């Protein structure tokens, strides 16, 4: 058995039992000098060089000194700005006026909170945080993604990871301002947002975790939805060694093209003074779509299970007399039909994108079909393409401007469909998407999944990549579908068995109470009713080939 070195033993004693050392008065001057030297060494160590600051034991409680010494850590292209112990239930997000007890953070255990600023370029200002539980670390790292144009640390997602025993990390992607204004005349910041910030955070988070626990994570997991889903897929394609497992929801795969298509989609809605459909008509359109397609799966439950196979024709709602909230004018019928169809260039008729919305999404049409274009999209043009905060969306020209953004959006290019380097390491990619997504077309995920499987071979499906479509779920969550499911537990099952779950049991909740469960199936399979038992019970469904 290898004996512990004297230096490591002294370091462990200093960190694990500092009260004992300071309380003892009989220690000789030589030992006191050795301890002082040790403390100085710990204050200047380079991140990534292993040292036994604490035993690599998930059950071992770590003393505050083990966290505080990280303040003087030497980071490559960055610096630690804060290293503090947060007491159980005491965390409050910066800028929040709420007391910890009123936050979702009240259940958090004690943890070491590290904040750092990373500067891989002279124009970079990437903020990251790394949280590490003092007790019960599961020896895993879970990094979490952002939404929209990012700009904030994802504290709620970090809290959810920490409470389950993970060390966790998040980044603001290099800016703290809302929207895309950070990108105007700052190409390096756009690259930071696009992919560099997440990669740099990942490298430093692993090093910090290694320094704190005396050993690195045995598994590194990414989890994110929307922008976080895009970040995860970019990680798999661009930095295949960063993560062992990636969970990516509602992924806007080709972001520049998507922004342009969103702009054109809104222009189509407002092509004439009478073509706009006011929100008060959405419920009637939704009810008509359900009437046409809800029962196609054999279960009438307020959810369209396979909306891509629904042939609902809005002309059935044509106003037979005066206009009203339960009917559509001829121009509005044309708009509603276009809502479900591919987006086209108005001048050439060339298809620009697959359908943005599907039957079942009607209640949330205002996101893309409201009075103004979707803000995330219009800001891409203001600050990335035209560098003009006053740019008028009315001047958007799909024939030229979509391609223009694709050329200029350096750093946020679509991910490669070649994930072989990630898969060859044993990497696993779990994707999910709601069929009623009102922001990111579900076909973003199905199209990318199909392309990856074609590139890697059909054996990759279920072994290295899996996609779960959620009927009735909106963007990342919400809607009439079973939108609540444990993605991390599903990934744990995948890792332990070597195969993606054949199904994931998901639930729908009303006022906090579960009122329906359903299996989510590996695409292209769908959940089919067995013919008996409650249709609100997942056990009465089986995953099978679609119609």
For 242-284, what is each residue's pLDDT tens digit?
A: 999 999 999 999 999 999 999 999 999 999 999 999 999 999 9
Catalytic residue among 437, 445, 464, 483: 437
To the query of whether residue 226 is one of the catalytic residues in this protein, the response is yes
Strands 219-225 and 140-144: parallel
74 against 83, higher pLDDT: 83
Question: Where does residue 59 rank: exposed (0-12), middle (13-18), buried (19+ CB within 10 A)?
Answer: exposed
Q: How far apart are CA 530 and CA 527, in angstroms?
A: 9
How many other β-carbons are positioned within 10 Å of the β-carbon of residue 459? 10
Please check the confidence at residue 22 and state whether its pLDDT lies above 50.
no
Active site includes 77? no
The single-letter DSSP state of residue 474 is: -
User: Across-strand partners of 144?
Assistant: 223
pLDDT given for residue 331 in this prediction: 97
pLDDT more than 90, % of the chain: 84
What is the mean predicted confidence (pLDDT) over 17-43? 31
Q: How many residues does the chain have?
A: 547
Supply the pLDDT for residue 74.
Answer: 85
CA proximity to 60, closest of 213, 259, 231, 193: 213
Q: Output the pLDDT for position 63.
A: 58
Residue of 73, 475, 483, 508 marked active site: 475
E strand intervals along 346-445? 351-353, 428-434
Surface-to-core class of residue 497, CB atoms within 10 Å of its CB (0-12 exposed, 13-18 middle, 19+ buried): exposed
- Active-site hit among 73, 154, 223, 226: 226
Residue 146 tokens read as 């952002």
- What spatial distance separates the first Cα and last Cα of the chain, rounded to whole Å? 62
pLDDT 10s digits, 284-308: 999 999 999 999 999 999 999 999 9
Q: What is the mean pLDDT of the chain?
A: 89
In this prediction, residues 449-463 reach a mean pLDDT of: 97
Mean pLDDT, residues 394-408: 96
Domain residue ranges of the chain, discontinuous segments joined by +: 1-217, 257-408
Residue written as token pair 């850590």 = 73
**Residue 538: per-residue pLDDT:** 98
Contact 53, 15 (CB under 8 A): yes
Model pLDDT, residue 455:
97
Give the per-residue pLDDT at 7: 33
């Amino acid at each position: 058995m290898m004996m512990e070195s004297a230096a490591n033993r002294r370091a462990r004693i200093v960190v694990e039992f500092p009260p004992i050392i300071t309380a003892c008065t009989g220690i000789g001057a030589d030992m006191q000098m050795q301890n002082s030297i040790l403390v100085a060494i710990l204050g200047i160590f380079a991140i990534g060089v292993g040292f036994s600051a604490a035993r690599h034991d998930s059950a071992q409680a770590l003393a505050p000194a083990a966290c505080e010494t990280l303040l003087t850590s030497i980071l490559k292209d960055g610096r630690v700005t804060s290293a503090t112990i947060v007491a159980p239930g005491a965390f409050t997000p910066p800028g929040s006026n709420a007391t910890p007890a009123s936050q979702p953070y009240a259940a958090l255990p004690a943890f070491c909170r590290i904040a750092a600023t990373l500067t891989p370029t002279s124009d970079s200002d990437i903020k990251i945080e790394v949280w590490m539980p003092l007790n019960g670390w599961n020896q895993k790292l879970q990094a979490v993604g952002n939404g929209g144009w990012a700009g904030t640390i994802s504290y709620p997602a970090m809290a959810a990871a920490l409470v389950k025993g993970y060390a966790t990390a998040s980044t603001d992607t290099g800016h703290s301002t809302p929207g895309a204004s950070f990108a105007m005349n700052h190409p390096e910041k756009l690259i930071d947002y696009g992919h560099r910030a997440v990669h740099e955070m990942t490298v430093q988070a692993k090093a910090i975790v290694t320094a704190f626990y005396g050993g690195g994570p045995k598994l590194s997991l990414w989890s994110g939805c929307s922008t976080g889903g895009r970040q995860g897929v970019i990680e798999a394609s661009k930095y295949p060694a960063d993560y062992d497992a990636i969970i990516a929801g509602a992924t806007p795969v080709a972001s520049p093209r998507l922004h342009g298509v969103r702009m054109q989609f809104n222009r189509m809605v407002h092509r004439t003074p009478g073509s706009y459909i006011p929100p008060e008509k959405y419920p009637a359109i939704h009810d008509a779509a359900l009437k046409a397609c809800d029962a196609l799966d054999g279960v009438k439950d307020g959810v369209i299970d396979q909306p891509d196979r629904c042939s609902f024709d809005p002309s059935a709602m044509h106003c037979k007399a005066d206009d009203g909230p339960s009917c559509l004018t001829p121009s509005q019928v044309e708009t509603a039909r276009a809502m479900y169809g591919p987006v086209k260039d108005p001048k050439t008729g060339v298809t620009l994108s697959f359908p943005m919305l599907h039957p079942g999404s009607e209640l949330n049409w205002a996101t893309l079909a409201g009075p103004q274009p979707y803000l995330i999209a219009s800001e891409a043009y203001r600050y990335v393409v035209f560098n003009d905060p006053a740019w008028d969306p009315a001047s958007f020209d799909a024939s030229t401007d979509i391609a223009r953004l694709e050329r200029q959006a350096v750093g946020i290019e679509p991910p490669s469909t070649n994930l072989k380097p990630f898969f060859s390491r044993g990497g696993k990619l779990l994707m999910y998407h709601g069929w009623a997504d009102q922001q990111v077309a579900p076909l973003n995920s199905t199209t990318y999944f199909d392309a990856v499987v074609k590139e890697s071979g059909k054996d990759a499906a279920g072994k290295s990549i899996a996609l779960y479509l959620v009927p009735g779920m909106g963007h990342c969550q919400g809607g009439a579908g079973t939108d609540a499911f444990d993605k991390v537990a599903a990934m744990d099952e995948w890792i332990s068995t070597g195969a993606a779950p054949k199904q994931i049991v998901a639930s729908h909740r009303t006022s906090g109470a579960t009122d329906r469960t359903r299996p989510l199936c590996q695409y292209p399979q769908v959940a089919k009713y067995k013919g008996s038992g409650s249709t609100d019970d997942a056990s009465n469904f089986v995953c099978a080939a679609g119609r």
